[in-house]
């Protein structure tokens, strides 16, 4: 079987070559282009890609214009848009014009690999009569939820039971970094909605009025800048899945509108008068105690009952026992491929260090720790000294967090939100000179840290310190 061909288009030559080298190691035939016009000329000369990976912001022809030129040539190759200027609006616009999906820069290489497999699999299904073994389920297999602990086995069993159950709303709960996004994508990939789009929106990342417009769309003239009509995510995802991450951040007014949609599966665009009906599965996620928010009247009780049909709890990494070593081995193999290393594994001392650690950032933090270790490690084995972890101690009375001088404790009755707020505040104080380093130590992106800082109003407390 011939290799699948990927065209990479990015006006940053080093970045384009980086993607090309990674994909070549994965077995793809790859051509990297700095200028979109050069890619179009290569196609006119008879070269046929199976998928195009294109940057959005390019000086001559941007990603959306490139997409339109491909369509004018009647070349319906899947196009994945990469954007460092990622917004839901940009992503929806690209997908509305026919993009297969989008990637946010800095690109997660594993996500890029999975999207390419999905795009190539779908392209094969549309070009031959026999179904391709590559596709949604192949890109996100249920077995990809790693772990042998009982909580993880229950997660996989629940996803398996949801395979042939259409329409059921799923609430995914767990701390930051436990893999809620991966579980959401796996549910979608292994369901009757897998042929439709998977559309994700972080409810904490947008102001409430923009969030409503992105979800439901708007008509021309609905507000000052509405110069044209625009479909919302619910329309874009018709026949697929909408993933509402951090749903606890949604205002009470918007919660009421969402509840109305969930009851009727119909909605109106902002400024519109026509009812629009769609068939989508709704997945929700949160890392806070929704029951407490309901008791505090910060989250609608009726909406909570409506979304809490199937509840999936993702355990914290510290609750998963020796699964941390299994997941660590997976990341080591992944980084061996990405970084061109030949690391064999962890020494017994390194394994003990991972098992003893409290993992406030969960799987995301574990991935970051191992990536750093493998970037700077040139040995065959990762030793304990190669693993840079935050110092912490455990207390039978509560959770201990590591300030720069000494240790302070939280009573065992503290909420997850209180723990998160205090831990982020401490880290920001400790790394005041480097926002990037604070985000890295927390195991989250700078964008997510900025969102958390705004959500918890930490600037006021930082100013006092």
The three-class DSSP label of residue 51 is: strand
Digit-coded pLDDT (tens) for 390-436: 765 433 333 434 443 334 445 545 567 777 888 888 788 776 657 77
CATH architecture type of domain 5-138: 3-Layer(aba) Sandwich (3.40)
For 165-178, what is each residue's pLDDT tens digit?
A: 888 899 999 988 89
Give the residue with greater pLDDT, 341 vs 402: 341
In the chain, domain spans: 5-138, 144-313, 319-385, 416-464
Q: Provide the pLDDT for residue 163.
A: 85
pLDDT of residue 15: 86
Which residues, in sequence order, are CB contacts of 209 under 8 Å at separation 6+? none
pLDDT over 70 (residue 228): yes
What is d(CA 399, CA 86) in angstroms, rounded to the nearest whole number? Answer: 36
Residue 68 has pLDDT above 70, yes or no: yes
The helix, strand and coil proportions of the chain, stated in percent and rounded to the nearest 5, come to 45, 15, 40
Phi/psi of residue 276, nearest 5 degrees: -115, 130
**Listed range (31-35, 130-134, 246-250, 322-326) with the worst mean pLDDT:** 130-134
* Architecture of the domain defined by 416-464: Orthogonal Bundle (1.10)
pLDDT tens digit sequence for 82-139 = 876 545 556 556 666 677 877 777 787 877 888 888 777 655 543 333 333 345 566 7
Q: Are 243 and 197 in contact (CB under 8 A)?
A: no
Fold of 144-313: Rossmann fold (3.40.50)
**What percentage of the chain carries pLDDT values higher than 70?**
85
Cα–Cα distance, 93 to 64 (Å, whole number): 8
| pLDDT value of position 136 | 58
Identical fold between 5-138 and 416-464: no
What is the third-level CATH fold of 319-385?
A: Helicase, Ruva Protein; domain 3 (1.10.8)
Residue 53 CB partners (closer than 8 Å, separation 6+)? 6, 7, 8, 9, 19, 80, 82, 103, 112, 116
Longest CA–CA separation in the chain, Å: 71
Residue 133 is predicted with a pLDDT of 33
Q: Each residue of 294-310: pLDDT tens digit?
A: 999 999 999 999 999 99
Answer yes or no: are the C-beta atoms of 103 and 112 closer than 8 Å.
yes
Identify the CA nearest to 120 among candidates 78, 73, 167.
78
Secondary element (H or E) of residue 440: helix 435-442
- Give the rounded distance of the alpha carbon of 398 from its chain centre: 31
């Amino acid at each position: 079987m011939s290799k699948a061909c990927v065209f990479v288009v990015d006006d940053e030559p080093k970045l384009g070559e980086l993607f090309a080298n990674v994909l070549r190691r994965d077995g793809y035939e790859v051509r990297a282009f700095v200028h979109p016009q050069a890619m179009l000329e290569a196609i006119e000369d008879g070269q046929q890609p199976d998928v195009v990976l294109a940057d959005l912001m390019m000086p001559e022809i941007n990603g959306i214009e490139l997409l339109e030129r491909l369509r004018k040539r009647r070349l319906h190759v899947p196009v994945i848009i990469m954007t460092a200027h990622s917004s839901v609006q940009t992503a929806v616009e690209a997908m509305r014009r026919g993009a297969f999906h989008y990637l946010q820069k800095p690109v997660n290489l594993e996500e890029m690999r999975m999207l390419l497999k999905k795009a190539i699999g779908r392209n094969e299904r549309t070009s031959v009569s026999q179904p391709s073994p590559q596709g949604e389920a192949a890109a996100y297999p249920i077995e990809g939820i790693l772990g042998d602990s009982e909580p993880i086995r229950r997660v996989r069993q629940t996803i398996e039971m949801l395979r042939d159950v259409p329409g059921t709303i799923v609430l995914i709960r767990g701390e930051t970094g436990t893999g809620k996004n991966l579980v959401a994508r796996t549910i979608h990939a292994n369901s009757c909605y897998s042929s439709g789009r998977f559309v994700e929106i972080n409810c904490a990342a947008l102001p409430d009025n923009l969030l409503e417009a992105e979800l439901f769309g708007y008509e021309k003239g609905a507000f000052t800048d509405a110069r044209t009509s625009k479909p919302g995510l619910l329309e874009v995802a018709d026949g697929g899945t909408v993933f509402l991450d951090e749903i606890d951040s949604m205002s009470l007014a918007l919660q009421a509108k969402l509840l109305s949609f969930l009851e009727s599966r119909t909605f109106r665009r902002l400024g519109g008068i026509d009812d629009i009906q769609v068939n989508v599965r709704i997945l929700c996620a949160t890392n806070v105690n929704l029951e407490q928010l309901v008791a505090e009247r910060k989250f609608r009780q009726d909406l909570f009952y409506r979304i809490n049909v199937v509840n999936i709890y993702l355990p914290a990494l510290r609750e998963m026992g020796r699964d941390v070593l299994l997941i660590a081995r997976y990341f080591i193999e992944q980084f061996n491929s990405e970084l061109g290393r030949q690391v064999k594994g962890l020494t017994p001392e390194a394994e003990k260090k991972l098992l003893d650690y409290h993992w406030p950032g969960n799987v995301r933090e574990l991935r970051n720790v191992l990536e750093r270790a493998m970037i700077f490690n040139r040995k065959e084995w990762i030793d304990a000294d190669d693993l840079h972890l935050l110092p912490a101690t455990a207390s039978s009375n509560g959770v201990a967090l590591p300030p720069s001088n000494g240790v302070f404790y939280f009573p065992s009755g503290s909420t997850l939100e209180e723990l998160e707020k205090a831990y982020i505040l401490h880290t920001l104080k400790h790394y005041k000179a480097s926002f990037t380093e604070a985000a890295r130590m927390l195991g989250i992106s700078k964008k997510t840290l900025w969102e958390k800082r705004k959500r918890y109003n930490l600037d006021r407390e930082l100013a006092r310190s």
